[in-house]
Amino acid sequence: MQKTLLEMRSITKTFPGVKALDDVNLSVREGEIHAICGENGAGKSTLMKVLSGVYPVGQYDGEIHYDGALAEFHDITESEAKGVIIIHQELALVPLLSIAENLFLGNETQKNGVINWPETFRRTEGLLKKVGLSDAPTTLVDKLGVGKQQLVEIAKALAKEVRLLILDEPTAALSEADSQALLDLMLELKQQGVTQIIISHKLNEVRRVADTVTVIRDGQTVSSFGTKDGITEDRIVRDMVGRSMENRYPERTRNIGDLLMEVEGWTVHHPEHADRRIIHGVDFNVRAGEVVGIAGLMGAGRTELAMSIFGQSWGQGISGQVQMRGQDVDTSTVGRAISAGLAYVTEDRKSLGLVLDEEIRRNVTLTNLPKVANGPVLNHNEETRVAEGYRRSLNIRTPSVFQKVVNLSGGNQQKVVLAKWLFAEPEVLILDEPTRGIDVGAKFEIYGLINDLAAAGKGVVMISSEMPELLGMCDRIYVMNEGAFVGELAAADASQERIMSLIVTEE
Amino acid sequence: MSVADQTQSSERQNTGIGAYLSAHLREYGLLFALIAIMAFFQIVTGGTLLRPINLTNLLLQNSYIIIMALGMLVVIVSGNIDLSVGSVMGFVGALAAVMIVNWDQSLAVTALVCIATGAVIGAAQGYWIAYWKIPSFIVTLAGMLVFRGLSLWLLGGESVGPFPREFQSIASGFVSDILPGGAAMADLFGLRNFNMLSFVVGLIAAFLVVWSGLRKRAQNRKYGIEDEPKMFFVARIGIVALALVFVFYKLSTFRGLPNVMITMGILTVIYAFITEQTVLGRRVYALGGNTKAAKLSGIKTERLTFLAFVNMGVLAAIAGLVFAARLNSATPKAGFALELDVIAAVFIGGASMSGGVGKIVGAVVGAFLMGVLNNGMGIMGVGIDYQQMIKGLVLLAAVIFDVYNKQKG
């Protein structure tokens, strides 16, 4: 039995009006990988912020014992000095600095304020080798993909002589292959004796790497168990949502109608480099009542395809034809695309989907303000009524529609984005990673909503990096790779293996 | 369901008076700061501050700042800034002077040409900002220099004036009393003169404040919106209404309503309406709050940004006319560094540097707050050195207060 490295006892943290953590206990043994699971808003991130000193001692109740002593961190530098390092979901790298500069930011190899560059590069190369990166230390971080950036973050933690590494949703933005590489690295670090805490929604990943799982729900510890004890994913899900979830994808009676949207020969060039073709003559279509998936790896061009169709919001030198119900339509501006009956629900709700500092009500109506106005004058009552309607029908959990969106959890924010696009009354909705970063319960609700839309005769195009989700939800799946469609599969014929093999054989 | 219970209980906790006050501290804070500062100067100036002649002066002195603050609020809410307004105001004033004094143009033609010029200037700057995505700070910094230079050139480095009475009355004229009963009231209160129109307008304004407050409250209740505690509502509306009656009464015992106050009042109401009640206004807030999200929602963000600057140009031109009329001459130095007062007023009024936040009423109160400080310190004989320092610190304090409030919330 290894010794206990970290023990958090009876942690309680209150925000004005809300008890975020209520008597939470967490015990992490030295050298293990410990997973923390829970719905969004359950308190996982708050717990980690208490641990790392973001919320200093005195702002919470309870005790933290670390490495056999009572730990009282006043800020993040104190916890880092003890080897507790947290990698947040939003990466904290400076894009226009090199890898080497990022790795030692705030921790520079220096003498009297003068940086020792040869030593910095030497150490950088060593660290990059450890995380399996072969890029030059002088490469600017913004030249790297998200997957590599995540690895740089880990290298940065290693530079600080980490003992307890906390990874908050490390694979949320990564492709399947990058995720696997990251998980492999975690297991390797474990061999080297680095204790790790991983927060993740992806239960297959949890099962793969974790030795112990602690489930948190509504700010309380629900259960804690070893993964070797024959624990199933269903059990974890049950603990997370407080109820059993037999079927993760709700049933839908399929009723597929006429051809709704058809895209032909869609070609797009890079917004900065006019000669670089990113999308190569893509054809696809959606029928009324149909859910069509677009599978592919990160960087396959799926978001670029969707955004270029939706008002030419990405790229330049765009050619191709969009037809709605057999008629050519103009989608060259967002306004025209909306009038043509299109809606695009972004994968990046915080920076592209919502005005975070505004009320829910004001976000919902943004796509179709004239509908809640008499001529140029807004009707605030009507606006409130509309927003209330969506709050109820989409089950957005909030005291009122006058709440600012920034105060909502990820799942509820996603519902606001969906509400906003439903209000535009589209015929075809392109949903880009509609369940990214949201918890199991909210995912289920969003799947239900997608089914309702299809049942109402809308066409749904669903872009997702989670293959089980596409397999569970779609009638038909297109497979995209390097800017072109490399295959089309009916739901009955599709499997993860077939999708992957289509992607791989193309290369 | 436990989540629902939780949100329910948090809602209940938030309805306490203390919690309400802390959540809305900023709005009340601004009002109370204005009252406190006025009370302070009223005492230390031995009652001079609120004398009818000084109140009238206070309004006239700040009219052009308030007019420009309306446009600046829109620009700042849209996520931009305009550093050129002082220069534009000066240039338009110079143009008006040259047209009237040197070229013998009529008042109407001059006013029209000046306002059109303001619009063109705003469009010229807005074009680069909106469609070329050049930061507004840089474009308007350039504009500040260019239009300062242009006024110097236009005036040949000299003051041009004086203006005919007709033009001066834009700023220093008063609306004549068209209502009967002024003389009787003067007798009743033992005053030299009494302007019935001004007093009645004051009563109507106070009534409208109470009426719209009650209406909004009734609507909020209907939709179950977190309600202002009754005590606060009565106090806030009461203070505002009484203050209006008081100010208008004071004005009525002097020369009545200044013309420029009518201009200012109407513009304020129009802009408050546009920003809060119209589709156009709402889109400007969305644009400033998150440009990318607004654009992806089908909002023509470039055109809106462009229009915000055209609008700013028009208001700067109106302010230029008022300013020149008030000084009764156009000088090459007119409007120098005035953009800073305008921007300060908007930030004191609670607007956010990053865009998407701010209210017309806040900007107007912010401008008055600066105006009272200027006026009060002027009466006290505080040196310009201390005046600048104090104004700077007030601006800093207001913004720190904002940031502190936001972090706490």
What's the pLDDT at B220? 77
In chain A, the percentage of residues whose pLDDT exceeds 90 is 34
Q: What is the pLDDT of residue B8?
A: 39
* B7, B14, B225: residue with CB nearest A397: B7
Continuous H helices in A192-262: 203-209, 233-241
The more confidently predicted of residues B380 and A91 is B380
Distance from C-alpha of B89 to C-alpha of B327, rounded to nearest angstrom: 13
Q: How many CB pairs under 8 A join A and B?
A: 112
Spans of chain B, pLDDT less than 50? 1-15
Q: What is the pLDDT, as a whole number, of residue B13?
A: 42
Is there a contact between A486 and A478 (Cβ–Cβ < 8 Å)? no
**pLDDT at residue B226, rounded to an integer:** 64
Q: What is A334-370 written as a DSSP string?
A: HHHHHHTTEEEE-S-IIIII--TTSBHHHHHGGGGGG
Per-residue pLDDT reduced to its tens digit, A257-305? 899 999 999 999 988 888 888 999 999 999 999 999 999 877 788 999 9
B4/A contact by beta carbon, under 8 A: yes
User: Contacts from A90-95 at CB under 8 Å and sequence distance 24+?
Assistant: A91/A146, A91/A149, A91/A150, A91/A153, A92/A153, A93/A141, A93/A149, A93/A152, A93/A153, A93/A156, A94/A141, A95/A140, A95/A141, A95/A142
Dihedral Cα A296, A298, A300, A303, nearest 10 deg: 100
Q: How far away is chain A from the Cα of B243, in angstroms, using its nearest Cα?
A: 29
Tell me how far apart the 2 most distant CA atoms of chain A are, in Å.
73
pLDDT for B408: 63
Q: Report the Cα A400 to chain-centroid distance in Å.
A: 26
A243–chain B Cβ distance below 8 A for any pair = no
Residues on chain A touching B13 (C-beta within 8 angstroms): 16-17
Alpha carbon of residue A20 to chain centroid: 22
Q: Write down the pLDDT at residue A18.
A: 63
Q: Which residues of A touch B279 (CB under 8 A)?
A: 369-370, 373, 376-378
Strands (E), A391-494: 428-432, 459-463, 476-481, 484-490
Which element (helix H / strand E) includes B218?
Answer: helix B196-222
CB A414 within 8 A of CB A446: yes
Given CB atoms, is B212 within the 8 Å cutoff of chain A? Answer: no
Which range among A281-290, A428-437, A445-454, A491-500 shows the weakest confidence by mean pLDDT? A491-500
Mutant choice from A240, A334, A349 vs B, greatest count of B C-beta within 10 A: A334
Q: Which chain A residues are within 8 Å of B355, Cβ to Cβ?
A: none
Q: What is the pLDDT of residues A327-355, one digit of tens each?
A: 999 999 999 999 999 999 998 898 899 99
**What confidence tens digit (pLDDT) does each residue in A109-154 have?**
888 888 888 888 999 998 898 888 888 888 888 888 777 888 898 8
Q: Hey, which residues 327-356 in chain B have their CB within 8 Å of chain A? A: 356
Give Cβ neighbours of residue A14 (< 8 Å, ≥ 6 apart).
A20
Nearest to B226 among A41, A334, A400 (CB): A400
Query: In B, which residues are within 8 Å of A335 by CB distance?
Result: 298, 300
Q: Which of A353, A366, A388 sits opposite B286 (nearest CB)?
A: A366
Instruction: Kindly determine whether residue A370 and residue B282, on different chains, have CB atoms separated by under 8 Å.
Output: no
Q: How many CB atoms lie within 10 A of CB B245?
A: 17
**Cα(A414)–Cα(B292) distance, integer angstroms:** 17
Q: Is the dihedral of CA A223, A224, A229, A234 positive or negative?
A: positive
What's the pLDDT band for A507 if we cut at 50, 70, 90? very low
Q: What's this model's pTM, rounded to 2 decimal places?
A: 0.80
- State whether the Cα torsion A24-A25-A31-A37 is positive or negative: negative
**pLDDT of A246 higher than 70:** no
* Contact state of B285 with A362 under an 8 Å Cβ cutoff: yes
Phi, psi values for residue A21, rounded to 5°: -130, 135
User: CB–CB of A285/A326 below 8 Å?
Assistant: no
User: For B296, which residue in chain A has the nearest alpha carbon?
Assistant: A334
Asked if B285 contacts A356 with a C-beta cutoff of 8 angstroms, the reply is no
Segment A171-184, tens digit of pLDDT = 877 777 788 888 99
Residue A423: closest C-alpha in chain B: B297
CA-based nearest distance A374→chain B, Å:
9
Distance from CA of A128 to the nearest CA of B (A): 35
What percentage of chain A reaches a pLDDT higher than 70? 96
B window 218-277, beta carbon within 8 A of A: 219, 222-226, 277
Cα dist from A188 to A18, A191, A239, B89, whole Å:
39, 5, 29, 68
pLDDT of residue B140: 96
Helix (H) or strand (E) holding A176: helix A176-191
pLDDT at A477: 94
Residue A68 at interface with chain B, using a CB cutoff of 8 Å: no
* Residue A366 touches partner B, C-beta closer than 8 Å: yes
Give the pLDDT score at A506. Answer: 46
Q: Which residues contact B400 (CB under 8 A, 6 or more apart)?
A: none
Please tell me the predicted confidence (pLDDT) of residue A41.
64
Q: Which of B19, B289, B298 sits opposite A355 (nearest CB)?
A: B289
> Among positive and negative, which fits the CA dihedral B131, B135, B137, B141?
negative
Q: What is the mean pLDDT of chain A?
A: 87
Closest-approach residue (CA) in chain B for A312? B296
**CA dist list (Å): A13 to A24, A86, A300, B22, B281:** 9, 19, 42, 21, 40
Q: Are strands A212-217 and A220-226 parallel, antiparallel or unpaired?
A: antiparallel
Q: Of all helices (H) and strands (E), which one includes residue A21? A: strand A18-29
Task: Flag whether pLDDT at A235 surpasses 90.
Answer: no
Give the closest of A313, A381, A402 to B296, CB-based. A313
Name the residue type at position B174: F
Distance from CA of A14 to the nearest CA of B (A): 11
> Tell me, what amino acid is at A223?
S
Residues in B closer than 8 angstroms to A388, CB to CB, are 223
